[in-house]
Chain A
Amino acid sequence: MIVGVLKEIKTEENRVCMTPAGVEIMRQNGHTVLVEKNAGRGSGFNNKAYSDAGAEIIDTPKEIFKRAKMVMHVKEPLPAEYDLIRRDQIIFTYLHLAAAEELTRVLIKSGSISIAYETIQKADGSLPLLTPMSEVAGRMAIQQGAKYLEMAQGGHGILLGGVPGVDPGTVVIIGGGVVGINAAKMACGLGAKVYILDMNLERLRYLSDVMPSNCFLLMSKPTTLRRLIKEADVVVGAVLIPGAKAPKLLTRQMLKTMKKGAVLVDVAIDQGGCFETSKATTHGKPIYTVEGVVHYCVANMPGAVPKTSTLALTNATLPYAVEIANKGWKKAMKQNPEIKLGANVVKGKVTYQGVAEAFGLKFTPINKVLK
């Protein structure tokens, strides 16, 4: 199969959807890989590294859309690309269609096979192509908290790890999933006092087994949260309800009980945020202060560390891309239910229920299309 790797064009997006090492594996599987010029630059991979790995470097996205059977991206196609998508072409990338009606309609009209990273799902309910980015975001959240606790940045001047003889900072992490555990690892490693709140007792038991002794596990309840935020120097919002808006767990009223100069990091901002006072910010201007509390609510946090994020993401996406390329989309979906769940819009039909419901469009189960 001819596979096209496009350069990202959204602002602050420096990742790339396939590394030279990925190209080499694709080549070993007998595929031709077209890579748009400078696609890997932000992630530290130059054109030569790609051509050495066996890719053909292509000047324009237009040519890639024309020749490739499967087009890969990190982010969704942008309006400039809408007309280039061909009938029966496979589009494999993050799509987040439930938040994008125009794009959904474009994909329906195009007759393409649009497979979304974010809805590929394992039998245990986990989302393997979201996990790597949650790992990055969770770890980054603590770095941001530590940085913005500095007084010159608006914080109240606490070193998270403390020093011998001086109290360390207190980190409260709401949600013990992938983001939460990775944030907790970093905070514990720095020497902070760490609380993780979660509602799943099994998960709390697991966390209790694997986390170090400076990590305390608590059942998440409004009373517990109200008590803890008074002590907190950093609060990390790490709540995800798949496919739905994040619940507002920390209200403006509760902010008033917090220490002035404490820092909130809302990793759930891509799903609307879990603090009432959260609004999305950018890496260019990451913070603002409400009620004396610093808010860090950068959407797409992993975009700031593209080298790590690209490798983490492509480690996870490559096996699926290889399978789709080897088998073709129909056979791949028939044989691998994880890929089947990635099908969002196929040959003009909306095959993902959440997307159909969001815009009142007709839902066609993918099984019916495959038959």
Chain B
Amino acid sequence: MIVGILKEIKAEENRVCMSPGGVEFMRQHGHQILVEKNAGRASGFGNATYKKAGAEIIDSPRDIFKRAKMIMRVKEPQPFEFELIRKGQIYFSYLHLAASEDLTRALIKRKAVCIAYETIQKADGSLPLLIPMSEVAGPMAIQQGAKYLEMAQGGHGVLLGGVPGVDPGTVVIIGGGAVGINAAKMASGLGAKVYILDIDLDRMRYLSDVMTGQCVTLMSSPAAIRDVLPKADLVVGAVLVPGSKTPTLVTREMLGTMKKGAVLVDVSIDQGGCFETSKETTHADPIYKIDGIVHYAVSNMPGALPRTSTLALNNATLPYAEEIASKGWKKAMQQNPEIKAGANVVEGKVTYKGVAEAFGFDYEPINKLLKQI
């Protein structure tokens, strides 16, 4: 199959959807790879490296849309690209369609096969193409917290790890999933006192087994959150309810009980955020203060660390990309239910329930579609 790798064009997006290592792997499986010029630059991969791995370097995205059977990207297509998408073409990237009616309509109209990274799902319910980014965002949340606790940055001047003879900082992590555990590892590694709140008792048993003694697990409830907030120097919002808006767990009123100069990092901002006072910020202007509390709510946190993020994402996406390319999308979906769960809009039909419901579109189960084929 001819696979096209597009350069990212969204602001602050420096990742690339396939590394030269991935190109080599795809070539070994007999596929032809077109890479847009400079697609890997910000992630540290020059055009020569791609070429050496067997890719063809292409000047314009237009040519890639024209020639490739499958288009890959990290982020969704931008409006000026809509008309370039061809009927039956596979578009494989993060799509987040439930948040974008225009894009959904365009993809329906273009009759493409749109497979979203974020809805590919394993039998145990986990989301294998979201996990790598959560693994980056979790540790980053602690780095941000440590930095913005500095007084010159608006924080109240506490070193998270403390020093011998001086109390370390207290980190409260709401949500013990992939973001939460990775944040907790970093915070524990720095020497902070760490609380993880979750509502899944089995998960907390697991966390209790694998984390160090300075990491305390707490059953989450409004009362537990109210109880622990006044102690916190850093609060990490690490809650994800797949496919729906994040619940508000820390209210504006609760901010009043916190230490002035404490820091909130809302990793769930991409799903609306779990603090009432969260509003999206950018890497260029990451923080603001409400009621004396520093808020860090940058959407797409991993975009700031493109080298690590690109590799982490590629490690996870590549096996799926290879399977789709090698089998074609129909057979890949028929044989692998994880890929099937990624089908969002297929040949003009909305095949993902959450997206259909969000905009009142007709929902066509993907199984039905696959049978007709």
Contact = CB atoms under 8 A, between A and B. Distances in A.
A165 B311 contact: yes
Interface string A18-44: 000000000000000000000000111
A87 interface: no
Given A139-B163, A165-B311, A149 B149 contact: no
Contacts of A182: 163
B151 interface: yes
A280 interface: no
Contacts of A146: 143, 146
A207 interface: no
Interface stretch (A94-102, A154-162, A198-206): A154-162
Interface residues of A, number: 50
Interface stretch (B84-92, B181-189, B248-256, B334-342): B181-189
Nearest to B316: A165
B116 interface: no
Given A151-B14, A163-B136, A311-B166, A189 B189 contact: yes
A305 B149 contact: yes
B305 A150 contact: yes
Range of interface residues on chain B? 35 or more
B304 A152 contact: yes
A14 interface: yes
A190 B122 CA distance: 29
B147 interface: yes
B157 A307 contact: yes
B157 A42 contact: yes
Interface in B97-152: 132, 135-136, 139-140, 143-144, 146-147, 149-152
B305 A191 contact: no
B312 interface: yes
A193 B294 CA distance: 31
B139 A311 contact: no
A186 interface: yes
Interface of A: 12, 14, 42-44, 132, 135-136, 139-140, 143-144, 146-147, 149-153, 156-167, 182, 185-186, 188-191, 283-284, 303-309, 311-312, 315
12 contacts: A42-B151, A43-B157, A132-B163, A136-B159, A139-B159, A158-B305, A158-B308, A159-B136, A163-B132, A166-B315, A188-B189, A190-B189
Interface of B: 12, 14, 42-44, 132, 135-136, 139-140, 143-144, 146-147, 149-153, 156-167, 182, 185-186, 188-191, 283-284, 303-309, 311-312, 315
